[in-house]
């Protein structure tokens, strides 16, 4: 459930921070196991991301301005 939430959030252009992942993980735990459930900590996020590395990988995207600048070429300008 958490992996899917992270992927969907990233697809929408709003990737979750580690703090957000902790909040969502704790919410899922409380929802599934009750209020007395122990919460996850900061070290848990790193373990979780390593465990699901095949699906959750970090990558750097190019800023949109760079893409726009690269598409500005003489043929494109002439056609416009």
pLDDT by 10s per residue, the chain, length 80: 999 999 999 888 888 999 999 999 999 999 888 878 889 988 999 999 999 999 988 766 666 667 677 777 777 777 77
Query: Rounded to an integer, what distance in angstroms lies between the CA atom of residue 56 and that of residue 78?
Result: 42
Whole-structure pTM value: 0.66
Is 2:49 a contact under the CB 8 Å cutoff?
Answer: no
Tokens of 6: 């992270």
Distance CA 56, CA 15 (A): 11
């Amino acid at each position: 459930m958490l992996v899917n939430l992270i992927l969907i959030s990233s697809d929408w252009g709003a990737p979750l921070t580690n703090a957000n992942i902790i909040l969502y993980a704790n919410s899922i735990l409380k929802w599934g196991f009750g209020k007395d459930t122990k919460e996850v900590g900061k070290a848990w996020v790193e373990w979780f991301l390593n465990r699901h590395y095949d699906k959750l990988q970090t990558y750097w995207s190019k800023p949109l301005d760079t893409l726009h600048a690269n598409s500005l070429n003489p043929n494109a300008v002439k056609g416009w």
